[in-house]
Amino acid sequence: MIIKKTETYYLELKEEDSKRDNHNILNSNDFEFKGIDLLRAIAYMGMSPGKIASFSRKKELEFKIAMVEHVLDINVVTVGSAKKKYIVLNEVNFSGFESAEKRAIDFWLGMFFATLLIQKQYKYNYAVHFSKYYQGGKSRHKFDFNKAITTIKEDSKSAPDLLGLNLPNDFGLFEAKGCIKYDDQTMEHAYDQVKRFATMDSVAFKHNNVLFSVLGDKDKIKIICKDPQGEEGADFDYINALFWQHKPLIELVEENRSIQKSHEYLSSEYIKFDDGNELVVSVDSKLFELYEKAFEYLGKDDASDRIKKDFKDIFKGENLITIK
């Protein structure tokens, strides 16, 4: 399939009972979104914060979009007088991959669909990685800030994947799963990860949800939502998390110096589809300037502290980066 920005697509959302070992479906409904919403989720979540010097951000994003388009397809269903385009797995294309490749694709689709829901269904401005930034556990390893994200925690595997943020104090916690078939044990493990946390910085999470993408049904991709109640509190370095989450998009704009400066935005057209669609990234000029300054001190011992100081207020704004 080719993801068309203005086209309307559908997934099916199913709500599962909130008890850990009860997998009954309570209700289901269609989730409607535009192609640009899915492209935006891929752009936000599809690029690694650490950059390979010889590989451009443009190529990295083009690869992720091409991968998604290669393994997905559309199932047109007539509902009354309307035709609905449901997203399905392209079984022929998917079957050509090795098992390890299939698991990686399952993972990425689960992350992209979860990010899509966090932004579109749950209305969070930001979706960032949670497990790498929460201030729990013992530091196992610290990477060079030029190459990777931050300190890895010994117990990060028991923490959920994603955090939805509306600053200053509106938070949602989400575990993303992507599998060909639904599996009770996988859901229960995800349930335990989300149930672990009830608050962040002493503020209760607005949502604690597992978002389990079932990819293999022939008629439509289904996302099973389960909502356990959390237990523990977590401290979270959200400024560094937001910094590293946005870094690939800033680098994407910086790489493409055919940038037009107009009013408050720096914009770059960086990818075009065969059908003539263009995807445009616009970055608030103040945010862009802060990143240009930060790139000079990344890799230094005080980089994390300087990021917290320089970026402590900027992310409270909205529409700092737009993708359209």
Task: Give the mean pLDDT of 103-120.
Answer: 98
How many whole angstroms separate alpha carbon 32 and alpha carbon 15?
16
Q: What is the DSSP letter of 76?
A: E
Structure tokens at 287: 């945010």
**Per-residue confidence (pLDDT) for residue 50, from 0 to 100:** 77
The predicted model gives 234-249 an average pLDDT of: 87
- Domain coordinates in residue numbering, the chain: 8-234, 239-323
> What's the distance, CA 202 to chain centroid?
24
Q: Whole-number mean pLDDT of the chain?
A: 86
208-233 mean pLDDT: 92
Quick check: 137 pLDDT over 60?
no
**Collapsed DSSP state (helix, strand, coil) of residue 168:** coil
**Side-chain half-sphere of 138: how many Cα atoms within 13 Å?**
1
| pLDDT, mean of residues 221-226 | 98
What end-to-end distance do the CA atoms of the chain give, in Å? Answer: 19
Q: What pLDDT was estimated at residue 133?
A: 72
Cite the beta strand spans of 207-264 per DSSP E. Answer: 207-214, 222-226, 232-234, 260-262
pLDDT of residue 143: 34
86: β partners: 10, 75
Which residue has better confidence, 136 or 190? 190
pLDDT at 276: 64
Higher pLDDT: 82 or 158? It is: 82
CA 198 to chain CA mean position, Å: 21
Strand segments, DSSP code E, in the chain are 8-16, 25-34, 72-79, 82-89, 126-129, 139-141, 152-153, 162-166, 170-179, 197-200, 203-204, 207-214, 222-226, 232-234, 260-262, 265-272, 278-284, 321-323
Q: For the ranges 35-44, 110-119, 195-204, 275-284, which has the lowest average pLDDT? A: 275-284
CA distance linking residue 145 with residue 244, whole number of Å: 10
Q: What is the pLDDT of residues 139-181, one digit of tens each?
A: 333 333 343 333 434 454 578 889 999 988 889 999 999 999 9
Say if CB 206 and CB 121 are below 8 A apart: no
3-class DSSP state of 100: helix
The model carries a pTM of 0.89
Strand partners, 323: 281
Query: Mean per-residue pLDDT for 1-13?
Result: 95
**How many percent of the chain have pLDDT more than 90?**
54
